[in-house]
């Protein structure tokens, strides 16, 4: 790794950046003296990769010296992420290592999501909890025809996981074009076709779902301030009797998010708090 992308941001956005880079072993957040500013750094093998980050997020690119990245080079390999008895998510991409994982975890679906410069590998509390809900839903619908809609999909790990667990079709979008670019690479790595996954750049506040983009399971992993305004659009993406999973919510903002959801006729039967984050499962009240 001989290049880095760097960006300064207000400390109040640290949670947002923490979620975005969760699982990327080549990314670091440093708090600047005084506590009002943070620096986000992503180490890259190629100058072009760092330049892409700069194009999307601003910041700067610089060539780095050995002393700056030796710690990153000596990091331990990230262990596979195991979800229920259904999934294993790994950063491995070689056929040999993936075959070894299939033998080690027979009966589980293996997803290859290399960190590289990607954001969102499944490790973050919000993503991993959504994955558990998806596993449970897939188990309850085994042998039936079901679909998923992933709003704010990031690198599409949730949609891809659902397809591997039996979903007939998935629709997924994100406001961030770079996330969608990485998601397309993840589709290729995991043999997911465009017929299976309708993936696109979109703004939840401007999106009107077509019939084929509505889901039996709808997942919205968005920040609470966005969720609170987006519930009408999210509901529009839900088929009759659909299950809704929402995440990306700070625990301190859960009550106001719940109130906003209930105002639109939603209810939540299960609420899980992991660290400072909340994920909830529910649907439309009868």
Q: What digits encode the pLDDT tens for the residues 5-53?
A: 888 888 877 777 776 666 565 777 887 877 788 888 887 877 888 888 8
Residues of the chain with pLDDT > 90, as a percent, come to 55
* Residue 91 maps to a domain: no
Distance CA 49, CA 42 (A): 10
Query: Do 158 and 57 sit in the same domain of this protein?
Result: no
Distance CA 128, CA 106 (A): 21
Q: Which domain holds residue 139?
A: 120-284
Judge contact between 182 and 155, C-beta under 8 A.
yes
Query: Do 267 and 138 sit in the same domain of this protein?
Result: yes
- How many domains is the chain built from? 2
* Residue 164 maps to a domain: yes
- CATH number for the domain spanning 170: value is 3.40.50.150
At 75 the pLDDT is 47
* Residue 181 maps to a domain: yes
Judge contact between 131 and 88, C-beta under 8 A.
no
- CATH number for the domain spanning 36: value is 3.30.70
* Residue 124 maps to a domain: yes
Q: Look at residues 78, 95, 86, 105 and name the one whose alpha carbon lies nearest to residue 22.
A: 78
* Residue 40 maps to a domain: yes
Q: Is the pLDDT of residue 73 over 60?
A: no
Range in 52-66, 165-179, 241-255, 262-276 with the lowest mean pLDDT: 52-66
At 64 the pLDDT is 72
Alpha helices in 213-253 (DSSP H): 224-236
Q: Is the pLDDT of residue 185 over 70?
A: yes
Query: Do 277 and 155 sit in the same domain of this protein?
Result: yes
At 65 the pLDDT is 58
At 12 the pLDDT is 79
Query: Do 127 and 61 sit in the same domain of this protein?
Result: no
- Which residues are registered as beta bridge partners of 37? 10
* Residue 225 maps to a domain: yes
Give the pLDDT band (50/70/90) at residue 266. very high
Average pLDDT over residues 52-68: 74
**Could you report the per-residue pLDDT of 108-143, keeping only the tens digit for each?**
999 998 764 445 556 678 889 999 999 999 999 999
Residue 270 CB burial class (10 angstroms; 0-12, 13-18, ≥19): exposed
Query: Do 259 and 163 sit in the same domain of this protein?
Result: yes
* Residue 100 maps to a domain: no
Query: Do 156 and 239 sit in the same domain of this protein?
Result: yes
Give the pLDDT band (50/70/90) at residue 273. very high
Query: Do 52 and 158 sit in the same domain of this protein?
Result: no
Residues of the chain with pLDDT > 70, as a percent, come to 89
Q: What is the pTM of this model?
A: 0.79
For every residue of 88-102, DSSP letters joined together read EEES--SHHHHHHHH
Give the pLDDT band (50/70/90) at residue 201. very high
* Residue 81 maps to a domain: no
Query: Do 127 and 254 sit in the same domain of this protein?
Result: yes
């Amino acid at each position: 790794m001989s290049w880095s992308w760097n960006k300064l941001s207000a400390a109040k956005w640290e949670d947002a950046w923490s979620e975005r880079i969760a699982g990327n072993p080549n990314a670091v957040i440093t708090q600047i003296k005084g506590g009002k500013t943070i620096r986000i750094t992503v180490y890259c093998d190629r100058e072009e990769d760092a330049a892409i980050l700069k194009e999307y997020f601003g910041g700067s690119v610089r060539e780095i010296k050995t002393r700056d990245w030796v710690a990153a080079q000596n990091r331990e390999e990230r262990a596979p992420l195991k979800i229920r008895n259904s999934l294993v998510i790994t950063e491995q991409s070689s056929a040999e290592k993936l075959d070894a994982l299939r033998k080690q975890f027979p009966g589980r679906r293996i997803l290859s999501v290399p960190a590289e410069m990607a954001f969102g590998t499944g490790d973050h509390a919000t993503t991993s909890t959504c994955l558990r809900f998806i596993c449970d839903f897939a188990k309850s619908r085994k042998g039936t025809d079901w679909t998923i809609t992933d709003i704010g999909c990031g690198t599409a790990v949730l949609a891809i996981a659902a397809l591997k667990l039996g979903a007939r079709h998935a629709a997924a979008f994100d406001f961030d074009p770079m996330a969608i670019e990485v998601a397309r690479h993840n589709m290729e790595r995991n043999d997911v076709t465009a017929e299976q996954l309708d993936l696109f750049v979109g703004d939840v506040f401007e999106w009107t779902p077509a019939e084929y983009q509505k889901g039996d399971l709808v997942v919205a992993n968005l920040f609470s301030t966005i969720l609170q305004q987006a519930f009408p659009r999210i509901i529009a993406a839900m088929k009759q009797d659909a299950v809704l999973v929402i995440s990306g919510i700070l625990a301190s903002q859960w009550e106001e998010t719940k109130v906003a959801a209930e105002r639109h006729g939603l209810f939540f039967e299960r609420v899980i708090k992991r660290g400072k984050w909340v994920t909830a499962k529910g649907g439309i009240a009868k």
